[in-house]
Amino acid sequence: MGLLNEKTIGEIVKEAASLFPNREAYVYPEHGIRKTYKEFDAETDELAKAFIGMGIQKGEHIAIWSDNKREWLLSQFATGKMGAVLVTVNTNYQEKELEYLLQQSDSTTLILCESFKSTSYLDIIRAICPEIITSKKGNIQSEKLPHFKRVIVMSENDYPGIYKWSEFVAFANKVSDEALDEYLEALHNDDVINIQYTSGTTGFPKGVMLSHKNIVNNGQLVGDYIHLTEHDRLCIPVPFFHCFGCVMGTIASVTHGTTMVIIEQFDAGKVLKMVQDEKCTALHGVPTMFIAELNHPDFKQFDLSSLRTGIMAGSICPIEVMKKVIEDMGASEITIAYGQTETSPVITQTKTDDAIEKRVSSVGKAHPGVEVKIIDPATGEDIPAGVPGELCTRGYLVMQGYYKNEEATNSTIDDNGWLHTGDIAVMDDEGYIDITGRIKDMVIRGGENIYPKEVEEFLYQHPSIQDVQVVGVPDQKYGEELMAWVILKSGENLTPEALREYCKGKISYHKIPKYIEFIDAYPMTASGKIQKFLLREMSKKRVEV
């Protein structure tokens, strides 16, 4: 494909401001904040000048650690105008994880909110870098973090050694509009502009380097698939630190002149109220978010009639949940997207006019200009339609690599440019893809390959079950057995025996979970993904007892 969009992140803001100056760019209903695209362009110009005025250079690494605050949104597009690389930090991080990220990423600057939920971010950064308290602002000299110079807080409270937000913004006064224009013109769409750390379920997190080209085009395509226009209003409850928020959410919106209706931290009731009050036409979420919304006690009280489309992604989407979002929420054009951070993130997506079976049971086909193939993970050979294997992809969407980790880059992207996803997929004759799990999630019971997703899809149909996750546990006789972790709907009762009885005669005997546990909530990442590796660890402990 000829690239859809050659623009940099800064340029897409300028374009939206010239095409739709008086359209709302973003709304924070909780704070009564509404800004047009013209105002958004001016705000991000000012912030870009502030970064330059502080002495931050193109290519310098700026870490950002916060929930979906307005300052996060403005920083994303301001760095996109002057060329600093935004390093996104998971809101759930604690001291050791943040220290690792700041060291590994060579970040010179950290922008943070004061706290998140019950965690004081200020206490954490001062524990890592006690020198902050006695340092002159902007001149931190840390033993542990040799590149680290400055901290900016999203607040007007005074803290020693830390710039408050207004002090940071004041640096813009040192920089002319002409100087900012020079920065903007010096950017190239192949420049790395974003580093996102993968969740690190295997070893330490790796910093995925993404360019303007990677994420502008992916955001553009994702928005095209759900037919976003300047008349749409997209509710974004997914976190910005993840590609779902800052590519499929913010960049998809800006490339289409769409209004972003932003919620700082996910809450099912708040999402439903925002969709109703702001007349949102689109809603993004991971399956667990949609499940929480559908099961909200006041769900039927909300008027969701404005809702048309959106994206469910982030983990495997249960067919039953997808059907309910279409039928009960009225999002008749909702799509499923699949990908990973290393692919900017979306590889495949369903279309709004795909047959309903395809829309609820597959992750669609590869995006335009994206190559996909399914290989035998053992031999590397291509395998035919209908046979499960590892999904590989190639094209504009493939990351620039992992920051300072050539070995991991080379083991993920082969010599021919194919990125190996580690996901098991099946492609049908028409090119539609079904993801059956991670290679490491597959359960081998007595030589039979079992894909947990298939068992989960079946169990979801039980009227008492709200959510279910299936993992493998070690077994002396069969090598592995299945364990199901079940969340029941409010007020429902179910026993393991009754659930096994329900399975008999409907699915193969070897797919009926030997172990069934009931649980109130799953261990989750901050982006709403279920941490199956933690469920596996919990399962092993239960079985050993």
Helices (H) and strands (E) in the chain, counts: 18, 28
Q: What is the model's pLDDT at position 411?
A: 94
3-state secondary structure of 448: strand
Report whether pLDDT(4) > 80: no
Q: What is the pLDDT of residues 253-276, one digit of tens each?
A: 999 999 999 999 999 999 999 999
Q: What is the pLDDT of residues 143-164, one digit of tens each?
A: 999 999 999 999 999 999 999 9
Q: What is the model's pLDDT at position 526?
A: 83
Q: What is the model's pLDDT at position 448?
A: 80
The token duo for 90 is: 């998971």
pLDDT (average), residues 215-219: 98
Q: What is the model's pLDDT at position 200?
A: 54
pLDDT class for 1, splitting at 50, 70, 90?
very low
Sorted by where each starts, the structural domains of the chain and their CATH numbers stand as 39-207 (3.40.50.980), 212-439 (3.40.50.12780), 442-544 (3.30.300.30)
Tally the C-alpha atoms within 13 A of residue 390's C-alpha that lie toward its C-beta: 18
Distances (CA, A) of 495 to 219, 319, 419, 452, 532: 45, 24, 44, 21, 23
Calculate ∠ Cα 525-324-386, nearest 5°: 75
Q: What is the model's pLDDT at position 545?
A: 61
Q: What is the pLDDT of residues 343-373, one digit of tens each?
A: 999 999 999 999 999 999 899 999 999 999 9
Q: What is the model's pLDDT at position 3?
A: 58
3-state secondary structure of 36: strand
Q: What is the pLDDT of residues 75-129, one digit of tens each?
A: 999 999 999 999 999 998 889 889 999 999 999 999 999 999 999 999 999 999 9
| % of the chain beyond a pLDDT of 90 | 87
Measure the CA–CA gap between 482 and 514, rounded to whole angstroms.
6
Report whether pLDDT(21) > 70: yes
Q: Taking a C-beta distance cutoff of 8 angstroms, is the pair 321, 287 a contact?
A: yes
Average pLDDT, the chain: 95
Nearest residue to 80 (alpha-carbon basis) of 109, 45, 105:
45
User: β-strands 24-28, 259-262: how paired?
Assistant: parallel
Q: What is the pLDDT of residues 305-330, one digit of tens each?
A: 999 999 999 877 889 999 999 999 99
Q: Taking a C-beta distance cutoff of 8 angstroms, is the pair 226, 335 a contact?
A: yes
Query: What b/e readout covers 163-194, taking b as 16+ CB neighbours within 10 angstroms?
Result: bbbebbbebbeebeeeebeebbeebebebbbb
Report whether pLDDT(202) > 60: no
In this prediction the pTM is 0.89
Report whether pLDDT(217) > 90: yes
| % of the chain beyond a pLDDT of 70 | 98
